[in-house]
Amino acid sequence: MGHKPLREQVIVITGASSGIGLATARMAARRGARVVLAARSGDVLAGIAAEFGPRATFVAADVGRREDVQAIADHAVATFGGFDTWVNVAGLTVYGPLREIDPEDHERLIRTNLWGTVYGSLIAAEHLRRHGGAIINVGSIASDLAFPFQGLYATSKHAVKGFTDTLRMELKAEGAPVSVTLVKPASIDTPLPARARNYMDREPTLPPPIYPPQEVANAILRAAVHPQRDIFVGGGGKLFVMGKEFAPGAYDELAPAIIALQKRSEPPRNPEGALHAPRSAGRERGDPPVPVMRTSAYTRATLHPLATAGVAIGVAATAALILGGGRVTRRF
């Protein structure tokens, strides 16, 4: 299934006021698409939309409220006559042990990360069933991995994966002209840790390797034109997932190291974060304490069909070599 060229599309992006959402909006506009920006920070969105002129519009919305998500779709139809791609990016996280986190914080995170994706996908599907197009959900490698001290974030991303896979199957069963893609980034250099609700005694961060948000934006926009079922952003994340599948018990033993890698050396800066109220929006990048990768060669390769086959062959050959104890048998 192929879709319109990007320059002919209208793209709705939730969570567009910072991080991956903002990077995607800017990249889409530069490539000629018209964009509908949605987030809780209406004043920030107004400034971002002004960068793009008449090719952009915005809606202040809380994706945890179905009526707000419906208002995003209605605004896209009223302004541009509809939309071709809907991207669910909005997401938050909470750092800390599960037993210490207030149930209200748990509920707010699930409402944004899961219900925001569910509402956005179902409302988008109603429009796209008639017109065709793409639904792109941003999950995480946490869709496949557990992360101690980000337990409810991982829970929400596991649920997003299950929902996305089910929606894809149901749309296929009814013959709807709608592609459904799940994008699974590894650690990405965004303000997510700084905007998190933090119960730890240290400022939070993300475990390396860390990739730039433009790598995720590029994958999202590729899927808007050339759909793929799943896209991992960051070869390091893909290796983590493969390792966990191969040896889940060994992965469990990494819990102390994973917890340590999520803590910076300094005390918390803003432990309340933006979980319950929008704060510190307007930036694509964060300030991680380690260098950020320039690109992900793995991801860029998987975005092209011929290269994907080569990557699969390479991964299979490497796995065979490992499982074979390093022996290579040649047959003539």
35 within 8 A of 11, measured Cβ to Cβ: yes
Q: How many angstroms separate the CA atoms of 195 and 264, rounded?
A: 15
Whether 298 is a known active-site residue: answer: no
The full set of domain ranges for the chain reads: 6-323
Q: Return the percentage of the chain with pLDDT > 70, whole number.
A: 91
Residue of 153, 199, 211, 251 marked catalytic:
153
* Predicted pLDDT at 304: 83
Q: Architecture of domain 6-323 in CATH?
A: 3-Layer(aba) Sandwich (3.40)
Q: What is the pLDDT of residues 17-53, one digit of tens each?
A: 999 999 999 999 999 999 999 999 999 999 999 999 9
Angle subtended at Cα 200 by Cα 197 and Cα 205, rounded to the nearest 5 degrees: 70
Residue 332 has pLDDT above 70, yes or no: no
**Does the structure show a pLDDT above 70 at 4?**
yes
What pLDDT is attached to residue 321?
43
What residue has token string 């988008």?
124
pLDDT of residue 2: 82
Asked whether the predicted pLDDT for residue 327 surpasses 50, the reply is no
The amino acid sitting at 255 is A
Q: 308 pLDDT exceeds 60?
A: no
* Amino acid identity at 18: S
User: d(Cα 278, Cα 266) in Å, to the nearest integer?
Assistant: 24
pLDDT of 289 > 80? The answer is: yes
**Spatial separation of the C-alpha atoms in residues 113 and 138, rounded to whole Å:** 10
d(C-alpha 257, C-alpha 250), whole Å: 12
> Is it the case that residue 315 has pLDDT exceeding 60?
no
State the residue for tokens 């990077």: 23
Which pLDDT value is given to residue 280? 84
Asked if residue 92 lies in contact with residue 275, where contact means CB atoms within 8 angstroms, the answer is: yes
User: Where residue 305 falls among pLDDT bands split at 50, 70, 90?
Assistant: low
Q: Determine contact, residues 263/199, Cβ cutoff 8 Å.
A: no
Q: How far apart are alpha carbons 220 and 105 in whole angstroms?
A: 29
pLDDT in tens, 191-249: 999 999 999 999 999 999 999 999 999 999 999 999 999 999 999 999 999 999 999 99
DSSP 28-73: HHHTT-EEEEEES-HHHHHHHHHHHGGGEEEEE--TTSHHHHHHHH
Q: In this structure, how many other beta carbons lie within 10 angstroms of the beta carbon of residue 213?
A: 27
User: For residue 78, what pLDDT band results from cuts at 50, 70 and 90?
Assistant: very high
Average pLDDT, the chain: 92
Rounded mean pLDDT, 269-277: 96
pLDDT of amino acid 18: 97
Selection from 74, 25, 73 nearest residue 47 by Cα = 25
Contact 298, 311 (CB under 8 A): yes
- Other Cβ atoms less than 10 A from the Cβ of 18: the count is 29
